[in-house]
Amino acid sequence: MFLPLLMHSRTKGSLKLKSTNPYNHPLFKYQYFEDDRDAKALAYGIQVAINITRQKPFVDMGVEPYAVKLPGCESFQFDTFEYWECHVRVLTLNFYHYVGTCKMGPRTDASTVVDARLRVHGMQKIRVVDIGIIPEAPTSHTAAVAYMIGEKGADMIKQDNGLV
């Protein structure tokens, strides 16, 4: 199975608090594919993956693309760039590795939430210590970045409380 991923989306979503109740889920506005280049990049990735499966070693193993048209894309000829672009627009999901939701930066930047020591602007004794602080997605799985931020955040909390 091949799974093309869009590592550097040109489209930016947003996250807003629904209320002051900390138990209410926030409002996510994903805005997938507001920049057409994102859908085109994924469609291209699908075509590359399919072309790989058409090579002799895969053919010899009996590998075939799943050739059932996706509902919503029936008007496009199957296996064309336009079909795959429709496909990604209709059937795209994320892996819940959101970054930039609580961006780190100076208080003078309205798009930031935390300072360089991960403290929430205008609040006391509250920090964000996860991948939400990084402004752009890394070209990798976010787990290693999350571990690094967690370790550094723990060190900062200990330092700021005289524990080291």
Per-residue pLDDT of the chain (164 residues; tens, 9 = 90+): 788 888 888 988 888 889 999 899 999 888 889 999 999 999 999 999 999 999 999 999 999 888 899 999 999 999 999 999 999 999 988 777 888 889 999 999 999 999 999 999 999 999 999 999 998 888 888 999 999 999 999 999 999 999 98
The one-letter amino acid code at 126 reads I
CA angle 104, 155, 119 (to 5 degrees): 30
Note whether 156 and 27 are within 8 A (CB): no
Q: Determine the 3-state secondary structure of 120 from DSSP.
A: strand
Is 97 annotated in the active site? yes
**Active-site residue, selected from the candidate residues 25, 97, 121, 141:** 97
Residue 49 CA, chain-centre distance (Å), reads: 21
pTM of the model: 0.79
Inter-CA distances, 68 with 54, 64, 128, Å: 17, 12, 44
Q: Which residue has the tokens 């920090």?
A: 127
